């Protein structure tokens, strides 16, 4: 019996090792591919600048801009003043968007693969939009009702304690990526926060480090780390039951999940239960913040995509 148990344990450990090895190999293959694409875009950038300069003046934005300039000569431009101030603002936004689209088209190579100067690369938009719609239905009919019940059943202090506990368990991801990004002060903050909140804060239920000692969280992730080292973000990607990602951030997400410590010490069912609880906790915390957004935003998919790229670009500058 002892021998059989030892054999099963050895087989389980070997299987886990193989899975980790395959994951690491895939990750490094993607890093190599994206890095080569980044270098390729940088090499061709200078060659494309002349072509970009030729194309932009011919764009719709330039024609609109010329029309707006002619207003001083008495030629109507379609932008009203006075009570039409909001129309002027929307026209300016539209013109800026047209410029961005023209520049994106100008900066896209003949093979359809944009270089690094193009902000939002979404070649899989048809698939992404369908998946985005699916995720919205899951949120509408499953996650949001569960979050409402969660808020109604638990008082604020309890919900806050649960959120703090999950945040404390995520220290490995933040600590490792602070080290990889050479943010040693941030790594020290994460260690201090974990030590204080795990002891004085009762297993992370209370954020004593933040509220009492004013030690801020230094949030870093693997997708951000890959970007810091020059890996391009790749295409935009929306997958079922996952947040918006790019190809780079997807592999970063997988690596971050692999750093979750409890997944190596508790059964898979318990990990799934904790993940579901954390997801509902996060949704419950933002349920009021995004109330009515779906009804007021015309292009919700495009708005979410734009906000995601802006946020990730800001993360790289931290």
End-to-end CA gap in the chain: 55
pLDDT of residue 294: 73
pLDDT of residue 16: 58
Residue 157, exposed/middle/buried by CB under 10 A (0-12, 13-18, 19+)?
exposed
**55 phi and psi angles, rounded to 5 deg:** -80, -35
* Domains of the chain by residue range: 17-118
Give the span between the Cα atoms of 74 and 37, in whole angstroms.
50
> Facing residues of 120 across strands?
none
Give the span between the Cα atoms of 17 and 23, in whole angstroms.
10
**154 touches 284 (CB < 8 A):** no
pLDDT of residue 293: 75
Number of neighbours of residue 206 by Cβ within 10 angstroms = 20
pLDDT of residue 8: 47
pLDDT of residue 21: 52
| Closest by Cα among 63, 28, 73, 59 to 251 | 28
* 236-237 vs 245-246, strand pairing mode: antiparallel
Which sign, positive or negative, has the C-alpha torsion 153, 157, 161, 167?
positive
| Closest by Cα among 277, 174, 273 to 224 | 174
pLDDT in tens, the chain (318 residues): 444 444 445 444 544 554 555 454 555 445 444 444 444 444 344 444 444 444 444 444 444 444 444 444 444 443 344 444 444 444 444 444 444 444 444 344 444 434 443 479 999 999 999 999 999 999 999 999 999 999 999 999 999 999 999 999 999 999 999 999 999 999 999 999 999 999 999 999 999 999 999 999 999 999 999 999 999 999 999 999 999 999 999 999 999 999 999 889 999 999 999 999 999 999 999 888 777 777 788 899 999 999 999 999 999 998
Give the span between the Cα atoms of 259 and 225, in whole angstroms.
14
DSSP of 154-210: S-HHHHHHHHHHHHHHTHHHHHHHHHHTT-HHHHHHHHHHHHHHHHTTTTTTS-HHH
């Amino acid at each position: 019996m002892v021998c059989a148990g030892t054999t099963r344990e050895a087989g389980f450990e070997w299987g886990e090792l193989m899975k980790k090895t395959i994951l690491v190999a895939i990750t490094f293959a993607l890093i190599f591919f994206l890095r080569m694409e980044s270098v390729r875009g940088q090499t061709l950038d200078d060659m494309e600048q002349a072509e970009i300069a030729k194309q932009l003046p011919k764009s719709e934005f330039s024609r609109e801009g010329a029309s707006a300039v002619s207003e001083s000569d008495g030629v109507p431009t379609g932008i009203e003043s006075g009570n039409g101030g909001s129309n002027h603002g929307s026209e300016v936004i539209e013109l800026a968007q047209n410029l961005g689209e023209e520049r994106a088209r100008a900066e896209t190579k003949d093979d359809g693969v944009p270089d690094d100067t193009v902000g939002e690369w979404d070649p899989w938009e048809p698939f992404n939009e369908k998946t985005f719609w699916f995720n919205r239905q899951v949120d509408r009919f499953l996650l949001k009702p569960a979050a409402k019940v969660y808020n109604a059943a638990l008082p604020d202090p309890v919900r806050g304690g649960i959120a703090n506990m999950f945040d404390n368990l995520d220290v490995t991801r933040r600590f490792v990526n602070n080290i990889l990004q050479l943010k040693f002060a941030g790594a020290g903050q994460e260690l201090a926060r974990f030590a204080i909140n795990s002891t004085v804060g009762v297993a992370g239920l209370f954020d004593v480090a933040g509220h009492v000692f004013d030690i801020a969280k230094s949030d870093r992730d693997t997708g951000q780390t890959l970007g810091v080292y020059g890996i391009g973000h790749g295409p935009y990607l929306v997958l079922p039951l996952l947040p918006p990602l790019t190809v780079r951030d997807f592999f970063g997400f997988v690596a971050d999940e692999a750093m979750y410590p409890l997944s190596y010490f508790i059964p898979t069912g318990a990990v799934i239960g904790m993940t579901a609880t954390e997801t509902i906790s996060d949704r419950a915390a933002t349920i009021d913040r995004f109330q009515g957004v779906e009804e007021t935003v015309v292009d919700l998919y495009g708005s979410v995509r734009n906000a995601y790229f802006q946020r990730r670009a800001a993360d790289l500058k931290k």
